[in-house]
Structure 1
């Protein structure tokens, strides 16, 4: 159990550090190139693990349209959106906004799946989450605002994309009972193929001009932040369950903000308050969803 909770903390640290690696890389190469390299180096450990465990077989080819949908939208487009957002924002702010994924996942499941009923706790969680986002975006500051609204737009777009992908997985992929490792390996492999077709590789070698940026992208963002993070997450799913495993998202915004502060980014009361609101939002949404499920199960059947 100690190893399991160690993996839980490690996952939160890995996710939280992703934003500074993206920030370093955006100074040298394009967002498309960053996503391509991230997916390539993230795919390698996943493909190796899938091969060792025999998770991939030919019978899964009949689900190729679903794999392609997840690869193009939930991987390539999602990663592109958060890199674009991180390029325009301080890495810590990007990390805090990245923590809103749980908010949009909950909203998407409520709107499209209708398997849960909105209760007061969940409604309060949604309100707190949006309050935290507004506090980060600071629209009242107008032209003097140091927070680029397009950066906020791209980060929230990524959160919405991932929230909607959760609905897609629940509707179309969960009933197939595929091994999670197989699903994510197909998803990453096909995303890599798509990105190779559409990415302009001109100047991609500039990433080697900065050793920190190159190592951060290849090892930090690719091997650890993508491939290893997926493997850790699915291990935690098996050991702790979905709700507990998703709790690593509590660590992510705090780690991202702390790393940004260490790297000289301004972290003030507004940023700290926004983190508290967003984390409170995630907690209330999870508690509210558990309560909704309990109420549904305990309601009398007619």
Structure 2
């Protein structure tokens, strides 16, 4: 069990450190090129483990249209939007916004999955989460803004598309009981093909001018932050279950904010207040969802 919780902490560390790696790389190459390199180096460990475990089968080809949708939106666009937003924002701020994924997942679930009925705690959680985002965006600031509003929009676009992709998976892929590792491998592999076709790779070699940035993208962002993070998450799903595994979401924005502070970024009362609200929102949504599940189970038992 100690190993499981060590791995749990590693997942939060891998995800939380992604933002500083993107920030370093954005000084040398474009967000699209960062995305291409991230997906390439993230695909390698996934393909290796999927091949060794034999989870890729020929009959999965019939799901190719759904794999392609997930690859284009939940991988290629999501990682691009995250890189674009992080290039415009302090890495800690980007990390806090990136940690709001459960909020947008909950909103998408409540809007598009009729089987999911919100309760009062979940609705309050959504409102609290958006209050945290407002504190980060600071819409009351004038022309001399300290936060780039386009960076905020890019981060929110990324988290929104990932939330909607969760609903897409629930509707079109979950009923087929595909191994999660197979889905992740198809998703990243197809995303890599899409990015190779559309990304202008001119100047990508500039990343080699700074070995910190190069290692950050290849190892930190790609191998660890994408490929290994996928593998660890699926391990935690098996060992702890979905609710506990998703608890790594609490670690991610904290790690990003701490790394940003350590590298000289300003962390004030607004940033701390925002992260408290976002984390409180995640907690409310998880507790509210658990209550809804228990109530549904009790209703079924009562009818039976």
TM-score by length of 2: 0.98
1:113 corresponding residue in structure 2: 113
Shift of 1:118: 1.3
Shift of 1:141: 1.4
2:102 corresponding residue in structure 1: 102
2:241 corresponding residue in structure 1: 241
1:131 corresponding residue in structure 2: 131
DSSP-derived class of the 1:142 partner: coil
The answer (yes or no) to whether the contact 1:99–1:278 under 8 Å persists in 2 is yes
1:16-165 equivalent positions in 2, closer than 5 A: 16-165=16-165
2:268 corresponding residue in structure 1: 268
Unaligned runs of 5+ in 2: none
Whole-angstrom distance in 2 between the partners of 1:150 and 1:196: 26
2:216 corresponding residue in structure 1: 216
Whole-angstrom distance in 2 between the partners of 1:38 and 1:194: 13
The answer (yes or no) to whether the contact 1:81–1:154 under 8 Å persists in 2 is yes
Whole-angstrom distance in 1 between the partners of 2:284 and 2:128: 9
TM-score by length of 1: 0.99
How many residues align structurally? 302
Q: After TM superposition, what 4+ stretches of structure 1 lie above 2 angstroms from structure 2?
A: none
The answer (yes or no) to whether the contact 1:116–1:293 under 8 Å persists in 2 is no
Whole-angstrom distance in 2 between the partners of 1:202 and 1:106: 39
Whole-angstrom distance in 2 between the partners of 1:254 and 1:73: 26
The answer (yes or no) to whether the contact 1:132–1:274 under 8 Å persists in 2 is yes
Whole-angstrom distance in 1 between the partners of 2:61 and 2:72: 17
Higher mean displacement: 234-243 or 112-121: 112-121
Shift of 1:66: 0.7
The answer (yes or no) to whether the contact 1:135–1:271 under 8 Å persists in 2 is yes
Whole-angstrom distance in 2 between the partners of 1:114 and 1:285: 17
